[in-house]
Structures are given as C-alpha cells and as structure tokens.
Amino acid sequence: MSNPHQNAITQLETVAAVLRQSYEDKESFDAAIDQLKTPDRVIEGKLRIRMDDGKVKTFQAYRSQHNNAVGPYKGGIRFHQNVTKEEVMALSTWMTWKCSVTGIPYGGGKGGVIVDPKKLSQGELQRLSRAYALFVAPHIGPWTDIPAPDVNTDGQIMAWMVDEYETAAKKRYKTLVENPIATFTGKPLLLGGSKGRTEATGLGGFYVFENLAKKMKLKKGATIAVQGFGNVGYWFAYFANKAGYKVVALSDSRGGIYSAAGLDPEKVLAHKEAGGTVGSYKGKQITNAELLELDVDVLVPAALENVLTKENAGKVKAQLVLEMANGPTTPEADEILAKKGITVIPDVLANAGGVTVSYFEWVQNLQGYYWEKELVLERLKGLMDEATDRMWQLKNDTKVTSRVATYMSAVKKVVDTMLLRGNEE
C-alpha cells in the first residue's frame, strides 16, 4: 500500500524543485520546504469508551497540525477503520495547500479515529465523539485549530463535539473555552452552521469543472463517471446532471452501475435510501475498478485515496480526471496520466469548496451574523473560479501539469509567509 504521507512529500519536492530557482535566498527556501515535509505537531492518544454491553473499549486517535504560518490549523475528523498516522499527516499537509489555493487564511490540520462507526450504536458513537473532543480540547480553538466533519462524520457529530468542548472540557480544564461555536465547522444550522455547507464540496468541484469545461471546450452532454456516492460524489453528480452533462456511471463501496443513456443521481440516491445499493439500480453492474477504466470524457474519483495507481493508470481513458477525493492518485499514476495527455485537476483545488464554506461558517460565527444561501454560493463560486483561472494561467505560462501549477501557487504563498515571519528555521 502506498504511504500517503510519502506521496505528499514527493508532491512537495516536485514543486519545490520548480519554485527554488526563483528564490534568491535558497538556503532559507530549502529550510522552509524541509519544515513543510513534517507536520508541526501530531497528537496521539487512546480513547476509552464504555460500550452498550458495559465493557470498555479503546480506540486509537490522532490530530495532525501541519502548518499555521497563514492562519489557524483547519481540517476534518474522520472515523474509519483504515485511519493511520501517516494518513492524517498527509491529509493535514494537503489541507495546507487546499486553504492556500483558494486564499483562505488557514493552515492544514486533520484528525482521525481508528474505528468502524457502522459497528457502533448511536449512544456509542456519541460517547466516542465526545471523547475525541476532550482529547483535542487543549489543542484547538477558533484561533488555534478548527476541526470539521470528514469521512463518516457529520453535523450531528460536530454538535456533540461542540457541546463536549463547551461544557465538559470547561470543567476538566478549569477554564472557559473560547467561542466554542467558532471552534468547529460543518455544524447543523441550528447550532451556527452555514447555509450551503452540505453541498459545498461537491458544488465547489462542479464550479471548477464548469470553468474547465469552457477552457477545454467540453460540450454539454460530455460523459462523466463518478466513483464514490457519498456527500461529495452525490452533489457533484447532481449539479453536473442538472447542467446537462451525462452521468453514465456511479458507485459506492459495494459496487457500481453503468448506463450509456445516463443516470439521474436523485433517483439513484432515492433507491439507495430505500434500502438498495448503487449497484442494484437499473443498468449494468460494474466494479469500482471497472468504473475507473470506462471510456468517458470525465472521471471523478470521489471515494478514498490511492485508487489510481501505476497498475491501472495506463487504462484510464478519460480526457479529464477531477480529484474530488483526497489523494486518489499516486505520484507514479500521475506521471503515467501526464504522459497520456490526461488533464488531472488535483484534490487541493477540486474539493476545496468544503473548506471554503467552512471558512465562511467560521467568519459568520465570529461575527454572530449569518448570510443567506445565495450569498454563500456566490462567494464560493467567486473563489473557486479565481483559483481555477489562476491555476490554468500558470499552467499555460510555465507548461507544467495542472497539479504542479496548483501546487506552485499554493506552496509559494505558504513559503513566502513563513519567510516573512522568519520561522522557516
């Protein structure tokens, strides 16, 4: 299995080699890059939870804080059985670039717990969520580190964490915690969440795609395959379908479906929520591996990392790969896709809509003033369009790949801020 943190370091080194020539003080530049290869801090701990049967079970937990030169650490919390220390380190690194790409004033963070939440009761899930909030309480805050939902976590879990941070943590640490509402994002609307946050990641990716479709002269009716039918994959597919593009393949963790005539994501979701699976919807059943190799115009990996590898990248037929998942393409696969002339839009741009609207939520929480949905989406589109235009211009000017162009802009901003602060040593 590819080491995701090593992948993140390899990506950074590739971009640093291009950027280095433009820096007069190469020693300071090199020191900043070396610092960025390792998170500022990785917090590790064991969460002891009383299960419904009365037994106590222990779960391994992490929080990685990558870099805060530009602003507080920001990033989600995932509950998944395959969480590793290397994974959260990589994800926190990618979050730094993701925030930098769209120009929001955050650095990267990411948390995780090794657990299969499907095996927990609602009560056990709440106790685990509260235990995690206590675990990170000394290390987070609205100006320090702002967690959010990620894989297998949601607004309800954020609500439990906000409550634990505000009440139990206050008792435990004998001090008032600063603005608990602004310390977590992705919250329900009733608890200070932002309108538009639910669809933000998928919609942000669609804004990037729509902008690129014009630049690449992709016509309406272009075919799209989406791997992953969670929140992100669903909303991307929903907006693409509404705009007149043809979503021909969808999948979830249990398999997928293909229909040359096109699929309606709303109907597929209704089928799934009624107890079915994506793969049991009408059409041709396919595997997740087969979906990646379909003859389509656009491939959207929106599940987990490392699904495009050196073993299957040569079989990808899409003209455009839009990374809606975090780290779905290994560096070896990236090289193969580039040689094939396939445009790959990296995750740190494609799925930055979620953290962008989380930033809007944080701003609203700090002000105690809340925006209408139209304003949220208008501001989201503006930032995503600006980031996409900036990447495309740099790509054309320097003749590098879309990933390198995106990273050049993001890494340069973080390095320059570190050099201004003088904290690259």
* Active-site annotation, residues: 110
DSSP letter, residue 21: G
Q: Where are the alpha helices (DSSP H) in 37-109?
A: 85-102
- Please give the C-alpha separations between residue 119 and each of 124, 271, 406, in angstroms, as whole numbers: 9, 23, 39
Residue 129 CA, chain-centre distance (Å), reads 20
How far is it, in rounded angstroms, from Cα 120 to Cα 141? 28
Q: Where are the alpha helices (DSSP H) in 57-140?
A: 85-102, 122-136
Closest C-alpha to 353, from 196, 244, 146: 196
Cβ(77)–Cβ(109) below 8 Å: no
Cβ(224)–Cβ(297) below 8 Å: yes
Cβ(337)–Cβ(344) below 8 Å: yes
DSSP letter, residue 377: H
